[in-house]
A and B are shown apart, each in its own frame.
Chain A
Amino acid sequence: MLILTRKPDESVMIGKDIEVKVLRVTGSQVHLGIIAPRSVQVYRHEIFTQVMAENQKAVAAATQPDAVSSLGENLQKLTERLRGKAP
């Protein structure tokens, strides 16, 4: 891992398009400003990890044997409630 020391108002460049700037430091919180092309996505790391974990759970549940055919059974009650709610 590359480790750089920065002060508030200083920044680092990642490539020539992405700038990460330290705006201010309050206690244990660091406020970062990120300037990047619109095609670059920026997430908090833990959100991305959470989505990956939930995808794995969703698949594990859906890939039981005969997932599709048994779906009707497992989700039937829910389906009935949803259908009851649908216009």
Chain B
Amino acid sequence: MDDNKFRRDLILSITPYQSEMLASLEKDAVYEFPEGIPAFEDARRFTLLSTDEIKPFLYLKSLDLEGLGFVCIDPFMIYSGYLARISAADMIKLELRDASEAIVLSFVTVQQNPQENTANLLAPIIINLRNRKGRQVILDKYPVRYNIWDNLDRLEPGT
């Protein structure tokens, strides 16, 4: 791929698309993470489960390693004004052309006490729905352990 096509970083911010895209994900679609997930490099193929019982959470389930999976949440839902600046390097790897192709999800670290659950806003996963390629990207700000519960009060109504 010609690197020059990607001169600028792409900023993914809240769009009307994300919630619609998450609500209409193709069932049983297989997403390929060519480099795996850091610390789980052998996990390359995943599917996204989104059942009524776990909504608004999703579950990114590995098809390569039994029992491996990540609880995910739409970061725009828990952090007003969240911006994912996708570097040209990541866009090239995802073959991402524009924001409307992509979904952004944060991994949730589940604790015994639901008030202590955190979301990884620093390193969201980006999935290009057009070619079904995904990868975990590292942004230049945001915490790796963002307490979801405590910060819900800060969300503005309607966001």
Q: Are B53 and A72 in contact (CB under 8 A)?
A: yes
Given known pairs A58-B120, A79-B56, the reply for A38 and B3 (CB within 8 Å) is: yes
B109 at the interface (CB under 8 A from A): yes
A68 to B110: give the CA distance in the assembly, Å.
Answer: 12
Q: Which residues of A contact B51 (CB under 8 A)?
A: 68
A59 at the interface (CB under 8 A from B): yes
Interface string of B112-156 (1 = CB under 8 A from A): 101101001011000000000000101000001100110010010
Given known pairs A39-B92, A62-B110, A76-B114, the reply for A51 and B120 (CB within 8 Å) is: yes
Q: Which residues of B contact A58 (CB under 8 A)?
A: 70-71, 107-110, 120
A20 to B108: give the CA distance in the assembly, Å.
Answer: 36
B111 at the interface (CB under 8 A from A): yes
Q: Which residues of B contact A59 (CB under 8 A)?
A: 39-40, 68-70
Nearest chain B CB to A54 CB, angstrom units: 5
Q: Are B117 and A78 in contact (CB under 8 A)?
A: yes
B102 at the interface (CB under 8 A from A): no
Which of B107, B115, B117 contacts A54, CB < 8 Å? B107
Interface string of B37-63 (1 = CB under 8 A from A): 111100000000101011111010100
Which of A41, A54, A72 contacts B145, CB < 8 Å? A54
Interface bracket on A: 35 or more
Q: Are A75 and B93 in contact (CB under 8 A)?
A: no
Q: Which residues of B contact A52 (CB under 8 A)?
A: 38-39
Q: Which residues of A contact B78 (CB under 8 A)?
A: 82
A52 to B155: give the CA distance in the assembly, Å.
Answer: 28
B87 at the interface (CB under 8 A from A): yes
A1 at the interface (CB under 8 A from B): no
A87 to B16: give the CA distance in the assembly, Å.
Answer: 12
Q: Which residues of A contact B157 (CB under 8 A)?
A: 85
Q: Are B114 and A78 in contact (CB under 8 A)?
A: yes
Q: Which residues of A contact B38 (CB under 8 A)?
A: 48, 51-52, 55
A85 to B108: give the CA distance in the assembly, Å.
Answer: 18
With both beta carbons as reference points, the residue of chain B lying nearest to A37 in the complex is identified as B3
Q: Are B3 and A39 in contact (CB under 8 A)?
A: yes
The 9 nearest A-B residue pairs measured at CB = A52-B39, A61-B110, A38-B88, A72-B53, A51-B123, A78-B114, A58-B107, A77-B114, A52-B38
